[in-house]
Structure 1
Amino acid sequence: MAAAGRWWAVVLAVAVLLWPGRVVANTEGDALYSLRQSLIDTNNVLQSWDSTLVNPCTWFHVTCNSDNSVIRVDLGNAQLSGVLVPQLGQLKNLQYLRLNNNSLVGPIPVALTNISTLQVLDLSSNNLSGPVSSNGSFSLFTPISFNNNPNLCGPVTTKPCPGDPPFSPPPPFNPPSPPTQSTGASGPGAIAGGVAAGAALVFAVPAIAFAMWRRRKPEEHFFDVPAEEDPEVHLGQLKKFSLRELQVATDTFSNKHILGRGGFGKVYKGRLADGSLVAVKRLKEERTPGGELQFQTEVEMISMAVHRNLLRLRGFCMTPTERLLVYPYMANGSVASRLRERQASEPPLKWETRRRIALGSARGLSYLHDHCDPKIIHRDVKAANILLDEEFEAVVGDFGLAKLMDYKDTHVTTAVRGTIGHIAPEYLSTGKSSEKTDVFGYGIMLLELITGQRAFDLARLANDDDVMLLDWVKGLLKEKKVEMLVDPDLQNAYEEIEVENLIQVALLCTQGSPLERPKMSEVVRMLEGDGLAERWDEWQKVEVVRQEAESAPLRNDWIVDSTYNLRAVELSGPR
């Protein structure tokens, strides 16, 4: 009997190991581990990719859905080399694959085209070679997904492969030869013939030109046609809407559907024909030559920024007179509206929710700075631009609408964009923005989360308080009145140590010198409990020295506030 029992135990163990569910669960992990084995990883970016784990959902740079299925692999700028493997085609629920700016070589596996869920693909800036399929999911992608791979070829790359016929240009237009006049033609007859030929030519030229344009149209990724003929065009999974479609959705941009107004234009609530709710941003901008190309480029760049804490661009509309962006509708509005404009029936944001908003928005901004190429500087980080999804997760909106940063660390602009109270002092005084400009705005947004107050509020003058939120907070901290900082709506339902930690992060982010502010990636780590104490101790030592210097004679009292490095006249000028 004992022997029989052991035999059944062995059978049961083998059955468990070979159970189909386990095999399926490990398929995606095996596929990604195959990729790891084919890559040279000098920086140990893939160190966490352990084949002994049940599934890859705990690996860095891999994101899974609630069913533990891989939906995202993000390995851009990871300094990887090697080749891609066909096993990637086994990631049947993959939506996002980013391997740009590495040193990958060899062909692109055709198996990737079989992933029907793939929405975003970025293989640009590698050394990949060979033909690129235009079938399956790849039929939705444009050359931007494969840019800077000089040895790739195929229709989607706009470069024909060796041995293939060149891509056919539209046939040249050869106007018909004018009719030869007979020597015996009468004067009136020649005039009549000339008039008839001229009229025919007037009608023929536009018709032939239109036919040529129609033949070229499939090669274009952006174009304008009359609304009644406007087809659905995709850039990846980005839809081009017709103007009429958005007019119908918003009741011709009715004022009753306005969700908000900002520096870039108005935002309207709309309902599409399929019943889904959207937010339509109607941009206001001066029309300049080449503006269409710039808009197309910005749309492409914004669409490539895909992250849990970034507002996803769903589509766009471009006509000679309109520029519109279409986003998913956020039913819970913005952090600002929840803090200061909530309805009586809406509960205030709980402290735990505010902490998650702080971390989520930091992760979104960190992605814009460190994982987008070129990096995207927001330039107007504030509570009004942090939206809340159905689960009250933070979603950073309005990014990419200011000029995109190039590969340099800073960029000088002719106009300061932003909201008073949120603008970093060096940006206001010089017009020079950088990722540290966003860090300052983020710090002010943290103070909004903690206090519930506006960054700039003249109403505080009634109590002889500072109009700038940062100066008001510093004043109360100097008087050791931390409890007066916290939003009364919380009704003391918060952890004091967590409030103090968040205030510390906010003050580190709003230091006068941009060089002393942390990067957003460092902010994320501090919010996750890594390195805040050390950074705060360093800041306090420097702050003691600074305050001693400021208390020395011959210094003006007004210098000690957050605008100490600005002339007073600069704060009263136009924004």
Structure 2
Amino acid sequence: MELKTLMSVVLLLLAMIRIAVSWADKNSLQDAMALMEFKSTVWYDPLNTFATWQATGVLGEHPCNFKGVECDMRRMRIKYVDISGCQLRGIVPSVLGNITLAWGFNLSHNEFIGTIPRGFGRMPNLKYLDLSNNFLTGFMPTDLAKLQFLNFYSLANNQLTGFLGFLNMSSLRRLDLSNNSFRGPVPESYGTLLPNLTQLDLSRNKLTGPIPKSLGYLDDLRRLDLSRNLLTGNIPYSLAMATGLNMLRLKYNFLTGIVPDTDTMRLFAKAFFPGNDGLCGPVVERACPSSQVWKQVVMGLFLPPLILSVVTGVVYLVAPPDEFSLSTIRSVTDNFNNNKILGDGGLCTIYKGVFLNGKTVAVKRLRPEYYNDNNKIFDEERRFLKAVNHPNIVKYLGACSSPRLKVLVYEHMANGTLDMHLHKERGGLSSLSWSSRMNIAAGVAQGLAYLHDDKFNAHISDIRSKNTSLAFTNPEKSIGTSTGYLPPEYATDIEPTTEGEVFSFGTLLMELLTGTEPAAPVENDVEGGLQGIMERAFPDNLQSVLDPAIMGGASYDQIVLCTKIALDCTKANPEERPKMEDVLRMFEQAYSVGPAYASAFTIFSNICSSHNTDLRLLLLQHC
């Protein structure tokens, strides 16, 4: 009896071992298959790097024996791949994301082309990623934004474009995005969501705007290189007080104002030139105009708690920086004169405000029912607006709050709305070209993708042509209802969702393609309105429904792809609609097949109209 029991135990152990080995083999095979597919995408290997990368199944051909591969020998799983400096030519496939236990990849100093795949975001243990010194194009990958263990991240010396992506990486120590073609501002969030950063290199790009004050609050920051960009404004006092820096490079920008006289600034006095001819003060041994000295003193270089606010032509020292007084708001709107109304919605009225110095703003006055006699909703929106930092979203300037009045102030887009420019029959200003419409759609898509990021809990905006503000002429038009832009599920549930927002975007794209308003009457009362018309015409009869104004500027393939994007976004089932980050990639594909194609899909970093003027897309908050 005891012998039988012993044999049963032995058999059970053997079975468990067999299962464990089978499981390990299965996962090792998954790793090997990913590497073999990677090998198949490389067409030039002059150093025979992949000579040992052979199909598994024979002793000595396990992926752990491949050149450049390190394994966790206990689990027999790949943990690190280093094929740097091998002169490889090919693309980097997303299948590498199947190597889920890997903690590092070094593919630097090769000749890889194409975009950065999304697969790396599937590696929760990833600590090291070096894709520098290749010929990669496209944008920063969004799926990497929240890898909490990533320690080293380099995309330097490639051909990447677009805006610097949102990053929330609490473990990141070194970030190198230098020598690409990134545009737009340096995100303020880098100084708060990358708390352990020691080295930041954003040099040799096309970045604009001021240096974020938050960078000066990174306690561990030792090396900061922002040189050879298009940065403007003053050197933040917080950065001047960052005593931990041992390397600072700001040369070849357009910085101005007094260089704060601190030990840190004196240490790096040579870091500001050449370039930055507008800098002055004792640190750089350049005299400042007397008016500049006074302005800098007031702005807080010597009195940092104070903040300059120019309102109604008078200088005030106020705190906090985003508060406008009630008297100021009444003054700039002529006491909320009806002639100043830009738009009127169910929850707010938007007025044009004009300061004595000529600066115009959009003043959004909320109706009392919006905040229900408490500040919770109002304060939540203010916090959200302060966090938003994106060139395609209207800039928040401040607020005014009293028991009977809640006001939000934005920069004013003096060029009216897309609706005004698109529909000439109602006095529209211009016939938008195909490239302009593509730029508009892509700009809105990127703004939405930014808002739909988890950081903002998918804060919903009201997307329609009347709420899409442009930046190149002057008239205003009232903001109407969203009829035609609403998804079918809102008929029973009016709670806004990201899926509903995607539907609204798809409808806006159809409006750009056809020049027809979604709520406009359609011939023969076609079921489904504008969406129904597009579905019936797709793909062979699109010419019959497209706006004739775009026919000369686009290839048929490009129009088909854009129509497919619109149809995918307006699917009846919300779960079948793509996410906005997927829509961005679809637009990249659309650009690659048409005459408007730019080698690295520069649409988001160079949004311009057919008039060669700035056509920045800015989204008004829900009203």
TM-score computed with the length of structure 2 as normaliser: 0.48
Measured in 2, the distance between the counterparts of 1:530 and 1:484 equals 21
Which has the larger share of helix? 1
Counterpart check, 1:508 vs 2:568: yes
Which of 164, 167, 190 is matched with 1:99 structurally?
190
For the 8 Å contact 1:348–1:490, the answer to whether it is kept is: no
Q: How many Å apart are 1:530 and its aligned residue? A: 7.6
Aligned in 2, Cα 1:80/1:494: closer, same or farther, shift over 3 Å? same
Describe how 1:466-481 pairs up with structure 2 within 5 A. 466=527, 468-477=529-538, 480-481=540-541
What one-letter code is carried by the residue in structure 2 that aligns with 1:485?
A: V
The superposition leaves residues 244-299 of structure 1 with CA deviations (integer Å, 9 ceiling, x where unpaired) of 22222222222222222223322222211321111211122327577324423321
Mean Cα deviation higher: 285-294 or 355-364: 285-294
Bigger mean CA deviation after superposition, 73-82 or 238-247: 73-82
CA drift at 1:305: 0.8
After the TM superposition, which residues 314-333 of structure 1 pair with which residues of structure 2 at under 5 Å, given as runs? 314-333=397-416
* Residues 1:460 and 2:517 aligned together: no
Aligned partner of 1:443 in structure 2 is 506
- Does residue 77 (structure 1) correspond to residue 137 (structure 2)? The answer is no
Cα RMSD for the two superposed structures = 4.9
Query: One-letter code of the match for 2:353?
Result: G
Q: Deviations over 1:50-73 (max 9, x none)?
A: 5x99xxx999499xxxxxxx9986
- Partner of 2:392: helix, strand, or coil? coil
Work out whether residues 257 and 269 of structure 1, in 8 Å CA contact, stay in contact via their aligned partners in 2.
yes
When residues 43 and 283 of structure 1 are mapped into structure 2, their CA distance, relative to the original with a 3 A threshold, is farther
Aligned mate of 2:131, from 34, 42, 47: 47
1:472-491 → structure 2 map (5 Å cutoff)? 472-477=533-538, 480-490=540-550
Q: CA deviation at 1:316?
A: 1.6
1:455/1:469 contact within 8 Å kept: yes
* Helix, strand or coil at the partner of 1:314: strand
The aligned residue for residue 373 of structure 1 is: 455
C-alpha change, 1:490 and 1:102, in structure 2 (3 Å) is closer
Match among 358, 367, 370 for residue 441 of structure 2: 358
Query: Residues of 2 paired with 1:255 and 1:345: CA distance?
Result: 23
Q: Provide the residue aligned with 2:432 in structure 1.
A: 349
**Residues 297 and 233 from structure 1, CA distance in 2 versus in 1: closer, same or farther, beyond 3 angstroms?**
farther
The Cα of 1:465 is off from its aligned counterpart by 3.7
Partner of 1:424: 487
Counterpart Cα distance in 2 of 1:274 and 1:467: 50
State the partner residue of 2:280: none
Structure 1 residue 364 displacement after superposition: 0.6
- SS of alignment partner, residue 451 of structure 2: helix
Contact 1:380 1:418 in 2 (8 A): no
**1:302 Cα deviation from its structure 2 partner:** 1.0
The equivalent of 1:245 in structure 2 is 328
> 1:386 pairs with 452, 455, 468, which one?
468
Instruction: Identify if the C-alpha distance between structure 1 residues 43 and 330 changes in structure 2 by more than 3 Å, giving closer, same or farther.
Output: farther
Superposed CA offset, 1:440-461 (max 9, x none): 111111001111111222x336
In the alignment, structure 2 segments of 5+ residues that lack a partner are: 1-123, 142-152, 154-160, 177-183, 201-208, 222-234, 240-303, 594-623
Q: Identity of counterpart residues, as a percentage? A: 26
AA of the residue aligned to 2:529: M
Given candidates 285, 302, 317, the residue that maps to 2:368 is 285
Q: Give the secondary-structure state (helix, strand or coil) at the position aligned to 2:531.
A: helix
Cα deviation, residue 519, structure 1? 0.8
Cα distance in 2, alignment partners of residues 360 and 257 from structure 1: 28
In structure 2, the CA distance between the partners of 1:60 and 1:516, relative to structure 1 (3 Å rule), is closer
Aligned twin of 1:207: none
Could you list the per-position Cα deviations for residues 205-260 of structure 1 after superposition, in whole angstroms to 9, with x for gaps in the alignment?
xxxxxxxxxxxxx9999xxxxx9x9965466xx53212222222222222222222
CA contact (8 A) 1:267 1:282 kept: yes
Question: What TM-score, normalized by structure 1, do the two folds share?
Answer: 0.51
Asked if structure 1 preserves the Cα contact closer than 8 Å seen for 2:522 and 2:530, the reply is: no
In the TM superposition, what is the alpha-carbon distance from 1:365 to its structure 2 partner? 0.5
Instruction: Decide whether aligned partners of structure 1 residues 432 and 220 sit closer, same or farther in structure 2, where only a CA change above 3 A counts.
Output: farther
**Residue 420 of structure 2 contacts residue 428 of structure 2 at CA under 8 Å; is this kept in 1?**
no
Q: Which letter maps to 2:462?
A: D
CA distance in 2: counterparts of 1:95 and 1:123, whole angstroms: 13
Following the alignment from structure 2 to structure 1, what is the Cα–Cα distance between the partners of residues 213 and 162?
11
- Bigger drift between 487-496 and 361-370 goes to 487-496
Residue 336 of structure 1: SS of its match in structure 2?
Answer: helix
d(CA) in 1 for partners of 2:447 and 2:532? 27
Alpha-carbon offset, residue 363 of structure 1: 0.6
Q: Which amino acid aligns with 2:584?
A: V
Helix, strand or coil for the counterpart of 1:359?
helix
The change in CA–CA distance for 1:72 and 1:515 in structure 2 (over 3 A counts) is closer
Kindly tell me: are residues 290 and 230 of structure 1, through their superposed partners in 2, closer, same or farther at Cα, counting changes over 3 Å?
A: farther
